[in-house]
Structure 1
């Protein structure tokens, strides 16, 4: 065939062929998905600061170690309440003609998944300390520190966001650690990462390959099996207050020997867990762990009992019934949003 000897015609035909394939295989399906996909009800677009933080997240290569996708397998339950769906990424639109939408789903989990990190860890103070030196709050962490997102000043000025970093984690520097605008924007983006609930009546996608739990006959005992307070503490509290309950000096208060923990009247302790706490200049703001995590009275009681009887603490235990009554009071006294 003479066509194979006329390179201009051959290349023109190849260009038309691949152009047609691209149109029907990539462009038109993508356009269809764009027009027939919408964010979930309750999804909130990123603010200017959060979008700036997203760009820093991309710039610093966070996507190389952290994913933002909850797969539909049982082992991913720890990262979200349900598997991810396409609508979760509908707000990730193209930012410019040169920049793709960039859902930042990731392909590797050297670090934990961040799909729901805004719920799991809503504390700005924790994120800032963690970014400056991850070993401060997680001794076993292999994450790189990001000290260039902070300034070291001889003394923090009015309006500065001071980061309470213990001296041994200061990278050999002396002074007050102050968060830059970039650090604050990055944290704002991380705090925005929250899995949106599906609309009422919409069935949750199932997690596959569920582990079957053997049920034991507990009818002869004194009721239902008590929840594992140590496990709940590890999931909800340990990142700040540490495994030994001693907290971090200048960052997070200790629970070991705490007057609030040792108090036989649990009202203040329940109120702090459900509504958060911001009354100490020496420490960061504690988020409303119980409310943010939708913890039940049984779970809150288990956490409290673990704290009241660990690290040398010998306080009176609480019951779920006591906690439920105080949780109802805490809801009434919570500040209106």
Structure 2
């Protein structure tokens, strides 16, 4: 009983036990994982500007609402082309000796996952508008505004990056909205968050619990599965072109009354959806990403989106069929990434 009556021996033994368990349970497995996992061959390290942006991301607690992990379940397909693997995080390093805020995998999705946001949304115009006030591009967003990352000046000078902000979001202030260094660094980080493709000979991890095809046994031969074009538009297009199809002045072109949308020959519209478009940068509009390719949209889904766009907001163009879209997709796929 002398051992238990001596606080020195008791606490020394407890400390040694804790130290040994920490070494065996935490440190050794961590070192083993580090030795067994290396970055993917095509992984690109963050640029110096993106590293600073990561620090801004951390300091503002963005990880509290945004994950960076694509789970191997069917519902996560919209966040990446494949489930995340250990190699995706192998090139992450400690912030400094005392802090290990490296992977930022997160635990909660109050906001969307950001693993592949650089591919899903590469537009700097969108990100800056979203940071200034998320309601500009996502009407019902609950994300706080980061107006402190911007300043309003009387005029733009050389080197300034301005943001197109609708008048109703200016809160009565007049002038040009200019992005500060913190905003540009944070956007640089978000733009570089892209899921690395696996080597062609590597086994592709599968998503689990894939939903059964609703157009199964009960479908009649030649019948086309009806999809909700409005919902597909909301999930894939609305954040830029807006719910009313009017886009955002100076940032994203309107689809309401668009000659491309209303064109009887829908090939160009299919090409833009699948391969993206950069032909209107001189007009101040951002580059459109290859939404159809990035989100792996099927011909049925592309057709549903197009028909929603061609028949909404006063548009009254002839609807396209799935077979027509399939032919156009085959024709333009040579440029798809």
Matched residue, 1:167: 167
Shift of 1:62: 0.5
2:50 and 2:189 in contact (8 A); partners too: yes
Shift of 1:262: 1.6
Shift of 1:123: 1.6
1:278 and 1:286 in contact (8 A); partners too: no
The 5 A counterparts of 1:60-209 are 60-209=60-209
Matched residue, 1:45: 45
Shift of 1:233: 1.8
Q: Cα 1:76–1:265, aligned 2, differ >3 Å: closer, same or farther?
A: closer
Q: Give the secondary structure class of the aligned counterpart of 1:110.
A: coil
Matched residue, 1:309: 311
Matched residue, 2:286: 284
Shift of 1:267: 4.3
Deviations 1:306-335 (A, max 9, x none): 21122221123345565556556656679x
Taking the aligned partners of 2:106 and 2:132, their CA distance within structure 1 comes to 23
Matched residue, 1:5: 5
1:153 and 1:176 in contact (8 A); partners too: yes
1:119 and 1:293 in contact (8 A); partners too: no
Q: Which moved more, 1:60-69 or 1:4-13?
A: 4-13
Shift of 1:97: 0.9
Matched residue, 2:295: 293
Unaligned segments of structure 1, at least 5 residues: none
Shift of 1:60: 0.6
Q: What TM-score comes out, normalization by structure 2 length?
A: 0.88
Q: Cα 1:328–1:250, aligned 2, differ >3 Å: closer, same or farther?
A: same
Q: Cα 1:64–1:72, aligned 2, differ >3 Å: closer, same or farther?
A: same
Q: Cα 1:234–1:150, aligned 2, differ >3 Å: closer, same or farther?
A: same
2:16 pairs with 1:16: yes
Q: Cα 1:94–1:116, aligned 2, differ >3 Å: closer, same or farther?
A: same
Q: Which moved more, 1:289-298 or 1:303-312?
A: 289-298
CA RMSD of aligned residues (A): 2.6
Taking the aligned partners of 1:107 and 1:288, their CA distance within structure 2 comes to 29
Taking the aligned partners of 1:158 and 1:67, their CA distance within structure 2 comes to 36
Unaligned segments of structure 2, at least 5 residues: none
Q: What TM-score comes out, normalization by structure 1 length?
A: 0.88
Q: Give the secondary structure class of the aligned counterpart of 1:151.
A: strand
Taking the aligned partners of 2:79 and 2:295, their CA distance within structure 1 comes to 12
Matched residue, 1:59: 59
Shift of 1:53: 0.9
Q: Cα 1:203–1:230, aligned 2, differ >3 Å: closer, same or farther?
A: farther
Q: Which moved more, 1:189-198 or 1:126-135?
A: 189-198
The 5 A counterparts of 1:207-218 are 207-214=207-214, 215-218=216-219
Q: Cα 1:289–1:83, aligned 2, differ >3 Å: closer, same or farther?
A: closer
Q: Give the secondary structure class of the aligned counterpart of 2:230.
A: helix
Shift of 1:85: 2.1
Taking the aligned partners of 1:300 and 1:121, their CA distance within structure 2 comes to 18
Shift of 1:158: 2.3
Q: Give the secondary structure class of the aligned counterpart of 2:315.
A: coil
Q: Cα 1:325–1:44, aligned 2, differ >3 Å: closer, same or farther?
A: same
Deviations 1:220-271 (A, max 9, x none): 4x34435543333222211111122122233322111112222223344344
1:66 and 1:114 in contact (8 A); partners too: yes
Taking the aligned partners of 1:271 and 1:67, their CA distance within structure 2 comes to 32
Taking the aligned partners of 1:140 and 1:230, their CA distance within structure 2 comes to 16
